[in-house]
Structure 1
């Protein structure tokens, strides 16, 4: 092939990829430069593997299965040759719910078409930032920033590994890599996602109830010290009962995000003496879906008010 023909071919390929970027419009491209996955958690257990969990990269509510809701055709314009550059998660047939509703995402969702979610009245999102003390979501920057650019409230979450480093150390890692709160009117307080162990047989990470409460306390206190906000605690009633003895220690300070995928019957009995939930993850179908307990004005207050 001649030099001029080779140059022409390269130009055509660049033009094709540029056209794809134009097609997805407001969708933010992934930022991968700061990703540094580590070997903090080990190989997923059989249940986690079946659910689609990848090593070191668990999602909240992973027992419901890792959701990869993507639309390759819209992303690529039907050109499979460039699909790897432009797979996009779009709002599909979401489970109906009244009130103020939103979603949560991790690296599995990749590039997200946030406008498609705002068009179906999704008002907020929580984005996985970190896990343990070494994993960082490589899409965090684009997902978090893209959601805000589309007008959504956005918060970050940390998937806890209580069998690893201390709660204090993991809170510091979280704040350093996405969990820092800013008073910009759109940033929700961070979330401690503490639930079933996807990397071993012991669902409580080998800790006694007393030690688990101590680990959570360490995380909660350090996060508050660093951000001036009380971290939201995401969990299930079953896990909280089995692994903390249904501790009531955090019910007056930390907002509860309870997971129970029963959209037609409600969140059920709440764990740990919490009188009400702040967020409820009511479905993991298509994508994780959540409901805020109050109106949009109160969600704005949660994003701005410190004690």
Structure 2
């Protein structure tokens, strides 16, 4: 299904947006061709956000990097409700060995396809985990971490379960930074990761994009020593990483891969995926 992503104004772009709106409201002058109306686009319905929902909208047309040198990687996917029932045997046969499944969003949404996606990936032999799409304007970090753990985001040392993921990126429903200052956003993230660790014993992975992290946390370096980084960048390399992380653990490199769209590379062989699962 084609998903048309709406371009949302960032906190820093509010003045430009308001000025543009005022100009569009002025009547066209005689002898001047009036612009065609803008295409009516819609973002996802509330609850239907997914990993990378803002990446293409906010990082379009990035120049292609020089390809990185070959290295050991492991192919993975991430899925959410818009993929419905996933063909896990086909993904496994294509070489996909790990998966992350959206479990929750905010403090109000649970993925209705979670059981098929989470259990189905496990049943074909994949190492899998769950992720939470954060909406920091709806509830505290602690409340959302508890909601996540209580609804599929937990962890067990069985060699097949990856630690949970905090998906923190552009707000698809409003202000890109959820109306929070840099300091307030960092505090919210700390509240989430600390609560998740207290509930599960694991530091959650943080999924983000460098440009969002820079704009909405002030490029905080406070999480690089504890939380594995999952970087989103649709290019031939992960590019510049957020402050504090010397390397990435997972790289979401495309939203147009085979079968489910969102494809990822783990920074290491399958033994490193297993090591992350085992803590």
Q: Do these two structures clear the TM 0.5 threshold for a shared fold by scoring above it? A: yes
Using the alignment, how far apart are the partners of 1:147 and 1:45 within structure 2? 28
Tell me if structure 1 keeps the 8 A contact 2:127–2:162.
yes
- Aligned residue for 1:47, secondary structure, equals coil
Q: Does 1:267 align with 2:235?
A: no
CA RMSD of aligned residues (A): 2.0
Counterparts of 1:232-251 in structure 2 under 5 Å?
232-251=205-224
Residue 229, structure 1, aligned to residue 229, structure 2 = no
| Residues 1:281 and 2:241 aligned together | no
Question: Partner of 1:269: helix, strand, or coil?
Answer: coil
> Residues 67-82 of structure 1: matches in 2 within 5 Å?
none
Of 152, 167, 173, the match for 1:178: 152
**Pairing 1:152–2:126 present:** yes
Question: Superposed, which structure 2 residues align to 1:80-99 within 5 Å?
Answer: 99=73
CA contact (8 A) 1:130 1:137 kept: yes
Deviating more after overlay: 53-62 vs 123-132: 53-62
Q: How far apart are the structure 2 equivalents of 1:249 and 1:46?
A: 31
Return the alpha-carbon distance in structure 2 between the equivalents of residues 45 and 280 of structure 1.
21
Does the CA-based 8 Å contact 1:248-1:274 persist in structure 2? yes
C-alpha deviation, 1:144, in angstroms: 0.2
User: Is contact 1:115–1:150 with CA below 8 Å preserved after alignment?
Assistant: yes
1:17-43 superposed Cα distances (whole Å, 9 cap, x missing partner): xxxxxxxxxxxxxxxxxxxxxxxxxxx
Task: Give the deviation of 1:167 after TM superposition.
Answer: 0.1
- The alignment's TM-score, normalised by the length of structure 1, stands at 0.71
SS across alignment from 2:54: helix
Partner of residue 5, structure 1: none
Unaligned 5+ runs, structure 2: 9-39, 58-70
In structure 2, do the counterparts of structure 1 residues 252 and 129 end up closer, same or farther at CA, with 3 Å as the change threshold? Answer: same
Cα distance in 2 between the residues matched to 1:274 and 1:64: 20
How many residue pairs are counted as aligned between the two chains?
229
Alignment partner, residue 109 of structure 2: 135
Gapped runs of 5+ residues in structure 1? 1-43, 67-96
SS at match of 1:128: strand
SS class of match (2:97): strand
Shift of 1:184: 1.3
Helix, strand or coil: the match of 2:150? helix
CA contact (8 A) 1:236 1:260 kept: yes
Confirm whether residue 115 of structure 1 aligns to residue 89 of structure 2. yes
Once the two structures are superposed, what CA deviation does each residue of 1:236-279 show, in whole Å capped at 9, x if it has no partner? 000000000000000000000000000x2x01010022000000
CA distance in 1, matches of 2:41, 2:232: 20
State the match for 2:50 in structure 1: 59
Asked if 1 retains the 8 angstrom alpha-carbon contact of 2:77 and 2:262, the reply is: yes
Instruction: Tell me which of 160, 167, 177 is aligned to 1:204.
Output: 177
How far has the Cα of 1:65 moved from its partner? Answer: 6.5
Q: CA deviation at 1:99?
A: 2.3
Q: Is the 8 A contact 1:59 1:106 kept in 2?
A: yes
Distance 1:123 1:182 in 2: 19
Structure 1's consecutive aligned runs of 4 or more residues displaced over 4 angstroms after TM superposition are 48-52
